[in-house]
Structure 1
Amino acid sequence: MKLYVGLIFVVMAILGNELEGCHCKIVQFIFGDSLSDVGNNKLLSKSLAQASLPWYGIDFGNGLPNGRFSNGRTVADIIGDSMGLPRPPAFLDPSLTEDVILENGVNYASGGGGILNETGSYFIQRFSLYKQIELFQGTQVLIRNKIGKKAADEFFQGARYVVALGSNDFINNYLMPVYSDSWTYNDQTFVGYLMATLRDQLKLLHSLGARQLMVFGLGPMGCIPLQRVLSLSGNCQQKTNNLAKSFNKATNKLVEELSTQLPNSSYKFGDAYDVVDDVISNPGKYGFENADSPCCSFGTIRPALTCVPASRLCKDRSKYVFWDEYHPSDKASELIANELIKKFGFVRVDQTNAPSPAPGLAPSPED
């Protein structure tokens, strides 16, 4: 579920056109994991958390891998498109310049990254939230040098911020015995450890100018194929789902507290658990035929970390909720994004431009 949830954050971005005085566009800065990664890990050559091989991107653009952990779009792409917003480029995109940042913002999301620095360490290369914030600080230096301190301060204080991480801290840390956190903490104390760390990170972002920020919660991550395969029955892992619920409850409380404590802040919590849970629990209601296994799989050898060239694809990708062991398919992302748009009441920023059309699904290699 990591991907469902995390990618939802684009919804809060860019609610205006220009900042008074600065005459800069209001843009968004995204901090996240593979649910919102649009190419950072693809450019981390040693990272094992990659979406750089076929069949990733098969239903997006030219059909080649683009860094998204999906066959097509992310939830963030779809929500942003529906609101008439530009898609923020990856921080590591070679074409990123000061002008691009001022026009589109930046996406620092990194597959395998977490709130904790130790999370996902076996992926070798990934950006933790602290690292993403460090990169954001570098971005601020560039913009100050470009437009001056006063205008830059207005630009960053007027921007929208999204933080969407957490699932890796459980799936690729606490729930894996190779990590010391798995035996150092119990369920309650680990969530407390996450909250203490996240509190410091959100306060740091505020000190850097983040005034309007949305933190997204987790979906039923115990129902992703990677978790189901750990059960002999193939059912969802309730312990993992309960951890997601505990995280959401604690994060909601933390965000409410910070919103009242930090000057001039508008910090909000976005909970998408119920939306995603309904899609997984009642796939037929939404036009899906499979909600428990990945469309792209490596036969009986599971779980595979990612979809690989030797993987076999399902016959009809539009009928599968999950694309790989972790992430939703383009069709599932579209449905979830539309449900979130209705739930949170998001509207288009520019009423003159029509939303980008959904990509036509490319034929499966077997067709």
Structure 2
Amino acid sequence: MKLDVVLIIIVAIIFGIGLDGYHCKMVQFIFGDSLSDVGNNKYLSKSLAQASLPWYGIDLGNGLPNGRFCNGRTVADIIGDNMGLPRPPAFLDPSLSEDDILENGVNYASGGGGILNETGSYFIQRFSLYKQIELFQGTQELIRSKIGKEEAEKFFQGARYVVALGSNDFINNYLMPLYSDSWTFNDETFIDYLVGTLQEQLKLLHSLGARQLMVFGLGPMGCIPLQRVLTTSGNCQERTNKLAISFNKASSKVVNDLGKQLPNSSYRFGDAYDVVNNVISNPSEFGFENADSPCCSFGKIRPALTCIPASTLCKDRSKYVFWDEYHPSDKANELIANELIKKFGFKRVDQTEAPSPSPTPDA
């Protein structure tokens, strides 16, 4: 064997580069709101949508706040773990490098963000879906400069994509009179506007290489503690739930149609409404004792939108469906994720990583 060929093989081994090009690992790119945020808002210093105070993160890692709006893992964490996919780091993580992106993907999700640019504006700083897609385009430029245009195209077309937004477009936009959308539209025209915008965003993602994409629908957002406490009865807000159902129906059709129209695409819609509604409506069947109030609350002063150091925690976090006024607990996320895995038949992409264990909450 000639010396130059030997040297090429040695270099390829050292740098992990196959002789037929860069070896692309399957990763995820996640676009979402606070239900999927793993730390982006933590680095948005002016954002009012924060999970940077105790007791967030109490049941994950070192027990300190990590940017997740939960006591533990997100649904995306759990589904990805069970599929054998690496957890994508937050885009704004200062340690993020091109190698990290190639190894783990990226999570662009931002608490308070929505499909519409105007959604959540009173949070001051947050990433809308259009902004998240813009950041993804910047990521693509970095990877192209790292491994070349052709290999980058293979990498991005081989990745998995998750889009999970929409609840803020209602709760922190349309249903609040301080937003112009609340009096510019009615229920039907607002959903048309919202879903039409989502359609254009999904087309844009396809043009950027997204071929395997899952869009998650909305759960019964009228049953979150924040919505219940705004009623005199403490029951779910039926109008809000009907909006979620209508959004799911319209966006499901859009996603299915795009899956047929866009070349080489596998676009799926994940309607989680029934799964989440079943847990909230029948908590005892799933091992929960409370499905209408948050585990982390500031006594009788409600709604307190986030956990704070002075908040009181419930005695057993595994018995509460909701962690705070907005977000499910780790245990609820685990149950929801497992139900979605069964419902949609998610398969593992490798067998090298064991799914993450459920945290054992301490009172």
What TM-score does the superposition give when structure 2 sets the normalisation length?
Answer: 0.93
Amino acid at match of 1:346: F
Matched, 1:354 2:340: no
- Once the two structures are TM-superposed, the CA of residue 84 in structure 1 deviates from its matched residue by 2.1
Amino acid at match of 1:306: T
For 1:194-209, list aligned pairs within 5 A: 194-209=194-209
State the Cα deviation string for residues 184-211 of structure 1 (Å, max 9, x = none): 0000000000011111111111111111
Partner of 1:273 in structure 2?
A: 273
Matched, 1:235 2:249: no
User: Is contact 1:47-1:124 (8 Å) kept?
Assistant: yes
Matched, 1:55 2:71: no
For 1:148-163, list aligned pairs within 5 A: 148-163=148-163
Partner of 1:245 in structure 2?
A: 245
- SS of the aligned residue for 1:142 comes to helix
- Once the two structures are TM-superposed, the CA of residue 350 in structure 1 deviates from its matched residue by 2.7
Partner of 1:83 in structure 2?
A: 83
Amino acid at match of 2:238: Q
Partner of 1:313 in structure 2?
A: 313
- Once the two structures are TM-superposed, the CA of residue 348 in structure 1 deviates from its matched residue by 2.5
Amino acid at match of 2:276: V
- SS of the aligned residue for 2:30 comes to strand
- Distance in 1 between the 2:318 and 2:205 partners? 38
- SS of the aligned residue for 1:250 comes to helix
- Distance in 1 between the 2:57 and 2:167 partners? 23
User: Is contact 1:22-1:154 (8 Å) kept?
Assistant: no
- SS of the aligned residue for 1:86 comes to coil
User: Is contact 2:49-2:111 (8 Å) kept?
Assistant: yes
Matched, 1:65 2:65: yes
- Once the two structures are TM-superposed, the CA of residue 255 in structure 1 deviates from its matched residue by 0.7
- SS of the aligned residue for 2:234 comes to coil
- Distance in 1 between the 2:298 and 2:124 partners? 23
User: Is contact 1:22-1:155 (8 Å) kept?
Assistant: no
- Distance in 2 between the 1:312 and 1:192 partners? 41
User: Is contact 1:215-1:269 (8 Å) kept?
Assistant: yes
- SS of the aligned residue for 2:269 comes to strand
Amino acid at match of 1:200: E
- SS of the aligned residue for 2:268 comes to strand
Structure showing greater Rg: 2
- SS of the aligned residue for 1:31 comes to strand
- Aligned pairs, how many? 345
Amino acid at match of 1:165: L
For 1:88-107, list aligned pairs within 5 A: 88-107=88-107
User: Is contact 2:28-2:86 (8 Å) kept?
Assistant: no
- Distance in 1 between the 2:43 and 2:200 partners? 28
- Once the two structures are TM-superposed, the CA of residue 22 in structure 1 deviates from its matched residue by 4.3
Moved more, 328-337 or 128-137: 328-337
Amino acid at match of 2:186: N
- Distance in 2 between the 1:80 and 1:205 partners? 20
- SS of the aligned residue for 2:194 comes to helix
Distance change >3 Å, CA 218–CA 85, structure 1 → 2: same
User: Is contact 1:30-1:107 (8 Å) kept?
Assistant: yes
Distance change >3 Å, CA 354–CA 212, structure 1 → 2: closer
Moved more, 216-225 or 157-166: 157-166
State the Cα deviation string for residues 18-54 of structure 1 (Å, max 9, x = none): 9x85421121110000000000001110000000000
Partner of 2:189 in structure 1?
A: 189
Percent of pairs with identical residues: 84
- SS of the aligned residue for 1:358 comes to coil
- Distance in 2 between the 1:313 and 1:44 partners? 27
- Distance in 1 between the 2:286 and 2:357 partners? 19
User: Is contact 2:28-2:106 (8 Å) kept?
Assistant: yes
State the Cα deviation string for residues 310-359 of structure 1 (Å, max 9, x = none): 11111111110000000001111111111111111223333344322111
Partner of 1:118 in structure 2?
A: 118
Matched, 1:261 2:247: no
Distance change >3 Å, CA 191–CA 94, structure 1 → 2: same
Amino acid at match of 2:304: A
User: Is contact 2:115-2:198 (8 Å) kept?
Assistant: yes
For 1:23-42, list aligned pairs within 5 A: 23-42=23-42
Partner of 1:342 in structure 2?
A: 342
- Once the two structures are TM-superposed, the CA of residue 169 in structure 1 deviates from its matched residue by 0.1
- Distance in 2 between the 1:315 and 1:283 partners? 17
Residue ranges of structure 2 left out of the alignment (5+ in a row): 1-17
Greater RCO, CA 8 A, separation 6+: 1
- Distance in 1 between the 2:65 and 2:244 partners? 30
- Once the two structures are TM-superposed, the CA of residue 106 in structure 1 deviates from its matched residue by 0.3
Amino acid at match of 1:37: D
User: Is contact 1:83-1:346 (8 Å) kept?
Assistant: yes
- SS of the aligned residue for 1:95 comes to coil
- Distance in 2 between the 1:311 and 1:38 partners? 22
Amino acid at match of 2:243: L
Residue ranges of structure 1 left out of the alignment (5+ in a row): 1-17
Amino acid at match of 1:227: Q
